[in-house]
Amino acid sequence: MSECSRVEGTIAIAEPRTTAADRVGRVYAQFRESVFRTAMRHTAGDRAAAEDVAHDVFVRLLRAIDGLDDDEQLGGWLYRVTVNLCLTRLRRDRFRRSVLRVWRVEERASSTPERDAGTRDELEKVLGTIASLPPKERVVLTMLHLDGRSQIEIAQVLGHSKGYISKLVERGRARVRAAGWESRDV
Amino acid sequence: MSDDDFVDALRRTDDRWRSERPSDHLDARVVASLHGRGRSIPALGMIAAAGAIAGALVFMTRDRPAVDPPAPLADLELADFEPARCAPAAESSALRLDKGCTVTLRAPAMAIHALETVELLRGAAGIEVIRGVARFDVERVKPGASRVVVLVADGRIEVVGTRFVVTQRHGVGTVFLEVGRIDFIARSGERQRLEPGGSRTWGPSVSAAVVLAQPPVDAGVPRARAVPPDEGGPIGVATRPEAPPVADRPVEIVPAREPKRAPSELTPEALLESAPPRTWSVEQTSRAVQWVSKLRGEGRYAEAVVWIARLLEAPLDARAAEVLSFERGQLLERKLGDTEGACQHWGAHRARFPGGRYEIEVTTALNRCGAVNSPRGRE
């Protein structure tokens, strides 16, 4: 389950005599890290992209916050918008991301010089596999395996049918296997 | 390797991402977007206070140490640019001032004059002079007022109301004192006082940075507003509430961050100096790319741009040069908001790598430049 969907702590969304910007500011203070981390996850560790997404999420919240009645709605809204903005970003940057992937791998590797070669290879391979997936399959697999979402929940967040999500999961898994990862269920 | 292995590997990778925190730059961007450039200081104070709440909430719910409130970045947004054309087109922690431009900060009272084109970067530690020549004109620091700290190598300089010029060029920096007093305090603790006309030089790979070291109590600056304590101070100011106010506390010039590197790791500077005039080895190129990647990862985009420009003059192999060149254009356009610089770069990139691997992106970028530069685009 995503951190964004869990509201830990209490925030009064509707306070008298506060502007929408002030309220969003408070929400930002509480959720900035969880939104950022969700974006990091769905952009495969692309820090710059994750920050862009996080920024856009809270700018959008400025227009939406009046319609969000409670913390639960807010958490769900943040998660949904974050994931969808990541998806949009992945689609837009697909070509460039694949080119820059090596940079990011090197960046991670160089930032932890004690990491052994095996771990680095695994990291490169994982990122390479993720980058090879079409954006929607990539987001769906990330939601499934990292966010712990069910296929029904994924369908709701992305606005698709459960059947379509199942198909995306299968396609994604097939690509993962094709990338060299064997699968027990084949 | 099984399908589960992929999931496990994915989760291990995700664990690494979890340790990443949003940067100060994000805070500044969000604040700017929520409140616009004409926002009020109370609004900023509220955001800063909310940042402190965030730290507490993270501490309580994530089982991790509390993080600092959103670190200051917005000083430059609280500044006046003269002439108006010098104001940045887009909010960014990086700022390039053309010769003749002046930016005046309100708290602390300080003006930065670009004697030549100067690239400044506002990070969590303060304002860094990435490259160029700038004169800092610091008003006399009143009791309890914020300190201004200029980060240089191997020491710090304490000043009370002064005017000095910082030059950062080709990896070597100098501070030249025009008026006032500067105490250069070496890391060893040795103190050296500079008198007007005196100077101090520091070595390569270290930039100068101007930071604040105390809460911005009323510095007596025209148009600057004292911020009530409960507002937490404007987000654009680095505050260290634990520091007691000291009468006539001087401005400090202290060491800037120095890149941490393994003994065997070469900076691009060292590579540029040591490499023979032939195509670089894979290892040399890899180190150069890693260095730029590291700067980018740390959000030090302006520095990355500068380094890439220098690296592109080195005997890199064509493929690495093209990747670096493309990255530079991306940084200029997307991270620094330097449309003019980006357009110039894209033109140079096209000329150097005609029909290259980024042809589509470069063509698109040049089309954007055309739209921006057209009469309609300027409206």
Domain ranges of chain A: 1-92, 133-186
Residue A16 to chain B, least CA–CA distance (Å): 15
Residue A68 to chain B, least CA–CA distance (Å): 18
Whether the CB-CB separation of B138 and B109 falls below 8 Å is answered with yes
Residue B281 within any structural domain of the chain: yes
Residue B260 within any structural domain of the chain: no
Residue B61 to chain A, least CA–CA distance (Å): 7
> Mutate which of A126, A144, A146 to test chain B, going by most B C-beta atoms within 10 A?
A126
Q: Convert the pLDDT of each residue in B287-341 to its tens digit.
A: 677 777 777 777 777 777 877 877 787 777 777 788 888 888 888 888 787 788 8
* For range A42-54, the mean pLDDT: 83
With a CB-CB cutoff of 8 Å, which residues 106-125 of chain A face chain B?
106-108, 110-111, 113, 122-123, 125
Topology of domain A133-186, CATH: Arc Repressor Mutant, subunit A (1.10.10)
Which residue in B3, B18, B34 is closest to A173 by CB distance? B3
Q: Are residues B58 and B83 in the same domain?
A: no
Which residue in B11, B25, B293 is closest to A106 by CB distance? B293
Under an 8 A CB cutoff, do B34 and A108 touch? no
* For range B235-243, the mean pLDDT: 24
How many C-beta atoms lie closer than 10 Å to residue A8's C-beta? 14
With a CB-CB cutoff of 8 Å, which residues 8-37 of chain A face chain B?
8-9, 19, 21-22, 24-26, 28-30, 32-33, 36-37
pTM passes above 0.90: no
pLDDT of A143 reads 94
Q: Is the ipTM of this complex over 0.90?
A: no
Domain that holds residue B57: 3-62
B251-255 and B148-152 beta bridge pairing: parallel
Under an 8 A CB cutoff, do A26 and B327 touch? no
Whether the CB-CB separation of B209 and B256 falls below 8 Å is answered with yes
Q: How far apart are CA B146 and CA B107, in angstroms?
A: 7
Q: Is B216 exposed, middle or buried (0-12, 13-18, 19+ CB in 10 A)?
A: buried
pLDDT-based confidence at residue B165 (cuts at 50, 70, 90): confident
Topology of domain A1-92, CATH: Rna Polymerase Sigma Factor; Chain: A (1.10.1740)
**Residue of chain B whose Cα is closest to the Cα of A31:** B54
Interface size, chain A vs chain B, as Cβ–Cβ contacts under 8 Å: 164
The most confident of A99-103, A122-126, A163-167, B236-240, by mean pLDDT: A163-167
Under an 8 A CB cutoff, do B30 and A41 touch? no
Residue B58 within any structural domain of the chain: yes
Q: Convert the pLDDT of each residue in B180-231 to its tens digit.
A: 766 666 556 666 677 777 777 766 544 444 443 332 223 332 222 222 222 2
Q: Does the CA dihedral B122-B126-B131-B137 come out positive or negative? A: positive
Q: At what angle do helices A94-111 and B318-330 cross, to 10 degrees?
A: 100
Q: Does the CA dihedral B198-B204-B206-B208 come out positive or negative? A: positive
Structure tokens at B216: 């911005």
Residue B211 within any structural domain of the chain: yes
Which residue in B13, B46, B54 is closest to A126 by CB distance? B13
Q: If you ran DSSP here, which 8-state letter would residue B1 be given?
A: -
A82 Cβ neighbours under 8 A, 6+ residues apart: A4, A35, A38, A39, A42, A53, A54, A57
Q: Are residues B42 and B116 in the same domain?
A: no
Residue B70 within any structural domain of the chain: no
Q: What percent of chain B has pLDDT over 90?
A: 0
Q: Convert the pLDDT of each residue in B4-16 to its tens digit.
A: 588 888 888 888 7
